[in-house]
Amino acid sequence: MSLKPECKACQEEPFNDKLMSELLYSIFNPYHYDSGMFNLQEFIKNVLDDEEFLENFEIYSSIFNDMLKNYNYSESLWLEKVDSYKKAKEKAWRELKKRIYDGEISIDSISVSELVDFFYEEILRDLIEMGYVEGVVKDIYRKKIIFNSIAEGIIGEKVLSLAVEDMEEKGFGEHEDEISGLSPFPGYEIVEYDEMLHTFDMIDIQETLIKTAKKNFEIDVNDIISRKPKVSGKRNYVMLVDVSDSMRGKKIIGAIESAIALKKAIRKSSLDDLVTIAFNHKTRKIKEGELPNLDTKGKTDIGLALRMARKELRGKDGRGVIFLITDGEPTSSFNQYLNPWRYALVEARKLREVDAYLNILMLGKNARFIELCNKMVKEAGKGSIFYFSDPLKLKSFVYRKFKSKS
């Protein structure tokens, strides 16, 4: 079943589902790049009649594309040339759509990220007319695209496919090239061995030897230490997404993608629950269709975010799993009697009340931040810490965690 809304502009849509998905994702994630054989520059140059522009096409087009796409203005010195360029692009866009629709140009031959770079305004206008984008919020510095729930669904399918593709290429588990593990706790809980419950492959040899060392390694059944087996059951996920001012750019894109990937995966294959909460110095539960539109501003209150996660998990059946995505130390405290650092630790310890597992996904790596994260996991009693140098790797990690039920 197609997710397409009814086109408001025309009866014949110029894009198929694949191209629509790629266009929406490339507009949502400007850091995504793909390649193609079709030469879009030459296609536009063929309809330009400004000789100076043609001679310096790469310089002019790069400057003007950036102005029109990101800043919503053009320098008065270049108004005439910008106007000429926009007219040429409009003409080229109409011709390109026709040739794609007629099958003369294969979609697979085009770089969609390059297509968005050159025809951003034209594509955005079509997406608005076709009902995928609600509109554009403009100010003097930038444009903010407002996607709707249909667009979120299409973007989500693309995000999940990329996460699955990465997982299939690299397999389960963490990889040093993308994640440096800082977990102070083992993945399984250590328990006394019970021959009625545990198989021999669950015995922890190292812990058993340590326990029997004082007895000259004379082992009896009461000295055996085992690892508590995992029980696969319902999970109640809470995704805490830092939307403070420092999360701008690739960080917030990566965080949104991870939340979308988990949401899509849960809906496809399980009865698990997911609540996504955006936080800065306040918190807000994310509604359907709002994920791609998260914006960054304000300070960071990690304690408040953990408090909200605890409230969401209280009274629910099944294990609670929290993903905290943040890039630095807290700078705000909901509790007026505690500083931001102390409040984060207090709320981390209170997670024991709901038996939650705390995964901290760090997008920053300064020494104080690492120290705080280690202390939060220690206070929570159960958890792990991971560092990501590339925020766009978050979605694959979160998806692997979901698939492995860790």
Separation of first and last alpha carbons in the chain: 33
Residue predicted with more confidence, 75 or 208: 208
- Nearby residues of 305 by Cβ (< 8 Å), 6 or more positions away: 240, 242, 277, 279, 283, 324
Can you give the residue ranges of every domain in the chain?
17-147, 167-184+232-404, 190-227
What pLDDT is stored for residue 127 in this prediction? 92
pLDDT confidence bin for 217, thresholds 50/70/90:
low
Structural contact between residues 251 and 303, judged by C-beta atoms closer than 8 angstroms? no
The tens digit of pLDDT for each residue in 368-402 reads: 999 999 999 999 999 999 999 999 999 998 988 88
Q: What is the largest CA-CA distance in the chain?
A: 91
Strand order in the sheet with 356-362: 179-181, 383-388, 356-362, 319-326, 235-242, 273-279, 283-285
Q: Write the pLDDT tens digit of every residue in 142-166.
A: 778 999 999 999 999 999 999 888 7
pLDDT at 299 over 90: yes
Q: Is the pLDDT of residue 284 over 50?
A: yes
CATH class of the 167-184+232-404 domain in this structure: alpha beta
pLDDT at 221: 65
Instruction: Give residues with Cβ within 8 angstroms of 214, minimum separation 6.
Output: none
Higher pLDDT, 294 or 101: 294
* pTM (two decimals): 0.79
Phi, psi of 192 (to 5 degrees): -70, 140
Helices 394-404 & 250-269, crossing angle to 10 degrees? 30
Question: Are 384 and 377 spatial neighbours (Cβ–Cβ below 8 Å)?
Answer: yes
